[in-house]
Amino acid sequence: MVSYDGLDRTGLLRRFAKGLLIRANQVGVDETAHLTIDGLLDVVRVHLRPCGLTAGFGGLVGLVDATIHHQDIRRPLGLPRQIPADRLARVLTAVTTNPRLEVWRRIRGVRLVATDLDWSHGKWPEVRGTGESLLMAMIESNMLAVECHLHRKHVPPWCYISIRDPDQIGKELAPGEGAIAVLDALNTSYPGFLLTDDVGDVETGTCGCGRTGQVINFRGRGPGGGLGHCPVSIERYLGSGTTAHDEAAALVKA
């Protein structure tokens, strides 16, 4: 995110041109790849206040990016943080209207309802969860799943997840890890069956939270995946179950 702060208008245009727009983030990642951890921390300290592109829209660009990437880092480290409700509500509204994030295609046909603050979006059927969980699901998933308190991502009943062989897409793997495809019964446009860039597997049974059905485990991106998304992906963590409560099994096998 901070790689944009030092760019003037000309530098920004060059970045977008070099990255063919959708790969602009990756260009910034490549340019800072040589830095050590201490070097990266120094860069962050210098850019605590957004400037340039990230200061756009009254600082909203920086707020959205910082909120999401903050959670990207804190979640796998097991360091939860309560995001102030007013900031979280502002970020939730912002991501649903940002065309570049393509959130609209993940949340169409459902109504999102935050259970911990006064925020909702869309029409029924409802998907309920904490504001932070809804935010991360909208940003990082090619489909909207319900994240329970055990950090498991539950597939909604109107969707079916099919794990496909990357070398033979026509072949379904059961069980196994492979390319994630989504069959959405509520989709009103073609195709209702979407092959994503994500790699993962599916478990079935009864979760420790009491929900039943498919649980999707995201393991990473496939070749070419993530070009328009964050370089640090929470999906790789969410499937690991590393922060599930010790007193309850994350998934009780059927």
Q: Give tens-digit pLDDT for 132-148.
A: 888 887 876 556 677 78
Quickly state the pLDDT bin for 87 (edges 50, 70, 90): very high
pLDDT given for residue 51 in this prediction: 81
149-254 sits in which CATH class? mainly beta
| Least confident piece of the model among 50-59, 92-101, 213-222, 226-235 | 226-235
In this predicted structure, the answer to whether residue 73 has a pLDDT above a threshold of 60 is yes
Helices 85-96 + 56-77 axis angle, to 10: 110
CB 60 within 8 Å of CB 31:
no
Q: Which two tokens stand for residue 31?
A: 């340019």
In this predicted structure, the answer to whether residue 26 has a pLDDT above a threshold of 60 is yes
> DSSP for the chain?
-GGGTT--HHHHHHHHHHTTTTTHHHHHHHHTTT--HHHHHHHHHHTSS--GGGGHHHHHHHHHHHHHHHHHHHHHHT------HHHHHHHHHHHHT-GGGTTHHHHTT-EEEESSSS-EEE-SSEEEE-HHHHHHHHHH-SS--EE-TTS-EEPPTTEEEEEEETTEEEEEPSSS-EEEEEEETT--SS-SEEEEEEEEEEEEEEETTS-EEEEEEEEEE-TTTTTTS-SS-THHHHTT-TTS-TTS-SEEE-
pLDDT given for residue 118 in this prediction: 93
pTM of the model: 0.58
CB 54 within 8 Å of CB 44:
no
Section 11-36 average pLDDT: 84
Computed over every residue of the chain, the mean pLDDT equals: 77
Quickly state the pLDDT bin for 202 (edges 50, 70, 90): very high
Quick one: which of 113, 128, 149 has its CA closest to 238? 149
pLDDT given for residue 248 in this prediction: 29
| Least confident piece of the model among 29-38, 45-54, 70-79 | 70-79
Domain range summary for the chain, segments of one domain joined by +: 1-48, 54-140, 149-254
